[in-house]
């Protein structure tokens, strides 16, 4: 069977981007052997509090983090789309642009997979893309419920991501760096330094723009 062009998407709020995100995306790119790994910041996720800083600040921090390395690309479409951000809208837009002969994989953590039945039009997601789930070593997959049924029906291996355009649920075990954006925001608000948890250029941007000094910020 023909090998397809493969694109993977790594979505999140990136408030701010840190080395946990960057290492995860790079390791996934290599493990999946995809042609493109795109970082996909969301503008206004419905399932969580509004981001601490504006879409423009988050975009600029990501651009700084990704500058210089060619392995990860920034896909800004969700930041540019007004209103709440739904993954299904993004995948429909991408599928419209790329056609049926390209493989699209949406990557998420196991914690996100467990919430999948609450996502907007979630049954449509696998008609548009594969889902790649990253599980920390030792984590257990659900044994029953809608997600377990999906795994049973549509589970697959990495090879299928290269031969089929969508429809597989692939689980990968991967170690995560113990870094969270919440911790970084809290460190800064407490007057402490988050250096070595995120790229220096991002830290410099945060300092120059005085971001995260209080619990919530807004920006340009």
Ligand X SMILES: Nc1ncnc2c1ncn2[C@@H]1O[C@H](COP(=O)(O)OP(=O)(O)OP(=O)(O)O)[C@@H](O)[C@H]1O
Judged by the rule CB under 6 A, the positions of this chain that interact with ligand NCN are 11-13, 40, 42, 45, 47-48, 85-88, 108, 112, 119-120
CB of 211 to ligand NCN, least distance (A): 18
Q: Which does 44 bind (CB under 5 to 8 A by kind): ligand X, ligand NCN, none?
A: none
Q: Which of 93, 109, 135, 156 binds ligand X (CB under 6 A)?
A: 109
- Return the one option of ligand X, ligand NCN, none that residue 182 interacts with (CB less than 5 to 8 A, by type): ligand X
| Residue 171, strand partner residues | 133
Cα separation of the two ends of the chain = 49
What gap in Å lies between CA 164 and CA 101, rounded to an integer? Answer: 8
Segment near ligand X (CB under 6 A), from 6-14, 67-75, 113-121, 191-199? 6-14
> Least distance to ligand NCN from the beta carbon of 163, Å?
25
Q: Which does 131 bind (CB under 5 to 8 A by kind): ligand NCN, ligand X, none?
A: none
Residue 113: partners with Cβ closer than 8 Å, 6 or more residues away: 131, 133, 147
Residue 51: which of ligand X, ligand NCN, none does it interact with, CB under 5 to 8 A by kind?
none
Our finding on whether 179 is near ligand X (CB under 6 A) is yes
By CB under 6 A, what part of segment 44-103 binds ligand X? Answer: none
Residue nearest to ligand NCN (CB): 11
Between 6 and 90, CB nearer to ligand NCN = 90
Partner whose binding site includes residue 87, from ligand NCN, ligand X, none (CB under 5 to 8 Å by kind):
ligand NCN
- Count of residues touching ligand X (by CB under 6 A): 16
Which region among 14-22, 63-71, 138-146, 194-202 touches ligand X (by CB under 6 A)? 14-22
Cα separations in angstroms, 200 against 109, 190, 196 = 26, 19, 8
| Helices 55-66, 200-208: inter-axial angle, 10-degree rounding | 150
Look at the block and give the residue holding tokens 């790994």.
Answer: 37
Which residues make up the interface to ligand X (CB under 6 A)?
12-15, 20-21, 24, 108-109, 112, 176-177, 179-182
């Amino acid at each position: 069977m023909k090998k397809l062009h493969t694109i993977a998407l790594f979505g999140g709020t990136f408030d701010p981007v840190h080395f946990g995100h960057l290492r995860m995306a790079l390791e996934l790119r290599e493990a999946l052997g995809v042609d493109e790994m795109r970082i996909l910041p969301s503008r206004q996720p419905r399932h969580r509090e509004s981001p601490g800083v504006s879409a423009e600040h988050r975009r600029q921090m990501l651009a700084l983090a990704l500058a210089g390395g060619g392995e990860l690309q920034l896909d800004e479409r969700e930041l540019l789309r007004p209103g709440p951000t739904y993954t299904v809208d993004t995948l429909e837009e991408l599928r419209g642009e790329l056609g049926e002969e390209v493989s699209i994989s949406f990557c998420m953590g196991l914690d996100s997979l467990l919430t999948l039945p609450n996502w907007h039009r979630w049954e449509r997601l696998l008609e548009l893309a594969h889902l790649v789930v990253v599980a920390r070593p030792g984590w257990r997959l659900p044994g029953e419920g809608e997600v377990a049924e999906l795994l049973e029906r549509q589970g697959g291996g990495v090879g299928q991501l290269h031969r089929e355009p969508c429809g597989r649920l692939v689980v990968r075990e991967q170690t995560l760096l113990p870094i969270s954006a919440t911790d970084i925001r809290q460190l800064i608000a407490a007057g402490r330094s988050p250096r070595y948890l995120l790229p220096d250029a991002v830290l410099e941007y945060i300092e120059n723009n005085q971001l995260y000094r209080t619990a919530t910020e807004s920006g340009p």
